[in-house]
Amino acid sequence: AQRVTQPEKLLSVFKGAPVELKCNYSYSGSPELFWYVQYSRQRLQLLLRHISRESIKGFTADLNKGETSFHLKKPFAQEEDSAMYYCALGGYGGATNKLIFGTGTLLAVQP
């Protein structure tokens, strides 16, 4: 069965430190992986998707099919990066575009 695992509920770092939010998935086909973010009092929104291979707000994520991982990274954390981050798996099941979300990691960037 398809599954997304985010092992850390909370990640606390200091401003300027590197950040890595872990995400592992379980899926036998060709996955589509996404990172969604929810800032305080804001809506859940797409941060980036692996197919785009782009960097958003300094964040990058590389799909590693061998390790079934899609970790989110940023070299220097900023206080405004503090938010809830969800990894999501999609891209399967015929006509459906449904996403399977992980349980999320709360990133807290300390000044």
Partner 1 sequence: EAGVAQSPRYKIIEKRQSVAFWCNPISGHATLYWYQQILGQGPKLLIQFQNNGVVDDSQLPKDRFSAERLKGVDSTLKIQPAKLEDSAVYLCASSLDWVQETQYFGPGTRLLVL
Q: In the set 88, 107, 108, 109, which binds partner 1 (CB under 8 A)?
A: 88
CB 87, min distance to partner 1, A: 8
Size of the site for partner 1 (CB under 8 A): 23
Q: In the set 12, 26, 97, 110, which binds partner 1 (CB under 8 A)?
A: 97
Q: What is the 3-state secondary structure (H, E, C) of the chain?
A: CCEEECCCCEEEEECCCCEEECCEEECCCCCEEEEEEECCCCCCEEEEEHHHCCCECCEEECCECCCCECCEEECCCCHHHCEEEEEEEECCCCCCCCCEECCCEEEEEEC
**Considering the rule CB under 8 A, would residue 45 count as an interface residue with partner 1?**
yes
**Considering the rule CB under 8 A, would residue 103 count as an interface residue with partner 1?**
yes
Which listed range, 11-19, 60-68, 70-78, 100-108, lies at the site for partner 1 (CB under 8 A)? 100-108
**Considering the rule CB under 8 A, would residue 55 count as an interface residue with partner 1?**
no
Q: In the set 28, 30, 40, 96, which binds partner 1 (CB under 8 A)?
A: 96
For residues 97 and 41, what is the distance between their CA atoms, to the nearest angstrom?
26
Which tokens go with 42?
């804001």
Which tokens go with 92?
């399967």
Residue numbers at the binding site for partner 1 (CB under 8 A): 4, 32, 43-46, 49, 51, 86, 88, 90-91, 93, 95-104
